[in-house]
Amino acid sequence: MSATQVDVSRPSLLAQALEFRVFGEAYTSLWSYPLLQKAPRGDGQPVLVLPGFMAGGASTYMLRHFLKSLGYRAHCWKLGRNLGPIGEKEHDIHERLKELKRRYKRKVSVVGWSLGGVYARELAWLATDDVRQVITLGTPIRHPNSVTVSWLYEDVTGQREAHMAPELLDRVPEPPPVPSTCIYSRTDGVVPWQCAIEKESPTTENIRVEGSHLGMGFHPAVLWAIADRLAQPEGEWRPFKPSRLMCMLFPKPDKYKD
């Protein structure tokens, strides 16, 4: 998302049709669950999981259940269905973040799926001292008009890019003040992959997977990558480096371009 737009096309009709892969991805996650239990484990930190546009907490159930099985305190956002808008909902989520920070007396990692990732990045700016790291899944951090369902977002929220505060438009695509991981797919049928990758910095990275947008929250490769990122000791963040075997699941990520 940026005040200056470049020409980024919406996902092709083929990519949109391939979103039906979500059912196969859900099945794959079920049979691969025993293998996923071998994912890296961390220190049991609290994790706040934010759903995508039009989705509610139930959509993040599998992700939260997986994280809990690894020992994390994974929590739903408890704000019902995500109907936006950007620039307002973050303040409600901030209260939920502060609640978790008080409960565990530790920084909270935030995982945001699609629109939820925009909120996650804003939380990093609103409460830098409370956020440990941010992980986004297929999140449009620039060029929102290229998102397949942008018309639906505008109809539901009444918010168009021109209505957003200029400082917000300028801030969202910038690397947040905490470690940030953007997980994306080149075959995302909702968010163009060019819009979902992060600028390079010492504390940012992009992880590429092969899958649908709707399946991001339970795709086996995505779950593994999230677990790997959360397993890092606090204050010792390092870029993702999959093993030789895992490289088959994680193609070389693309470079950010303006």
- Mean residue pLDDT of the chain comes to 86
Predicted confidence band at 15 (pLDDT cuts at 50, 70, 90)? confident
User: Between these two residues, 78 and 5, which has the higher pLDDT value?
Assistant: 78
Alpha-carbon distance 11 to 231, whole Å?
A: 33
pLDDT of residue 160: 52
- If you ran DSSP here, which 8-state letter would residue 183 be given? E
Q: How far, in Å, CA of 124 to CA of 212, rounded? A: 26
For the segment 78-105, the average pLDDT, to the nearest whole number, is: 88
DSSP code per residue over 40-66? ---S--EEEEE--TT--GGGGHHHHHH
Mean pLDDT of 19-44: 90
For residue 253, give the nearest of 175, 189, 193 by alpha carbon.
193
| Digit-coded pLDDT (tens) for 105-157 | 999 999 999 989 999 999 999 999 999 999 999 998 876 555 655 544 454 44
pTM for the model: 0.88
Provide the token pair at 101: 């920070």
pLDDT of amino acid 81: 87
What architecture is domain 13-248?
A: 3-Layer(aba) Sandwich (3.40)
| Ranges of each domain in the chain | 13-248
Closest CA to 184 of 196, 195, 172, 200: 196
Q: What are phi and psi of 209, to 5 degrees?
A: -130, 170
Cβ–Cβ under 8 Å, residues 109 and 131: yes
Q: pLDDT value at position 186?
A: 93
